[in-house]
Chains A and B, each alone.
Chain A
Amino acid sequence: MSKLLVSITHSKDDTDRATVGFVVAGASVASSVETVVFLSTEGVRLSQEGYADDIHEEGFAPLKQLMTDFVDAGGTIWICSPCFKKRDLDENKIVPGATIVGGAKAVEFLTTGASSITY
């Protein structure tokens, strides 16, 4: 199975990029591609329950729905550990399907044949 890592580096600072990142990730996982969304820098805020509830870019499905559909279809969400800690986010409020990982995990995935795209 082919692999794709979708790196999302924005949240409410650029809701267009955050949304399109999950649109592409959804297209990937729905196309039988092993897909990981890697949330880093400001993107890690999307890992918090409720944060994405009011993000709805015109012309796209609501971000919460995109994230839920992605996980339900078998997608994986990784959260950059230092980015998460820097922002003092809550480990008890992480959305379903998401896991805090270190850079080594992302590097391992990329070096075992995954392509990547960044938003």
Chain B
Amino acid sequence: MTITSANALPRDCFQDMGELSCGDLVMAMLKALRPLQPGDVMEVRALDPAAPIDIPAWCRLTGHTLVAGPCGPDKAHYFIQKKEDA
């Protein structure tokens, strides 16, 4: 586990989603989270203006935990912990 420079939260992987939005964004997050172990934390950088609404909604739907975000210098970083029974 490493420490991100965004806000010093621990995470197991980092995925830069850039300008991905809507279905493309959540599909990319699903794919990125799959290889992780339950309890692992994925840091996502997402620049789409809807991301602050969509990422928390996706976490509520899937059961993964939004540990923090949006945060970081660009307010575009999210820390998502994979649920235990995934």
Contact = CB atoms under 8 A, between A and B. Distances in A.
A115 to B, nearest CB: 13
Interface residues of A, number: 16
Interface residues on B, range: 10 to 19
Nearest to A2: B61
A69 B27 contact: yes
A20 B66 CA distance: 27
Interface in A34-62: 60-61
A30 interface: yes
B24 interface: yes
B22 A32 contact: no
A61 B61 contact: no
B17 interface: no
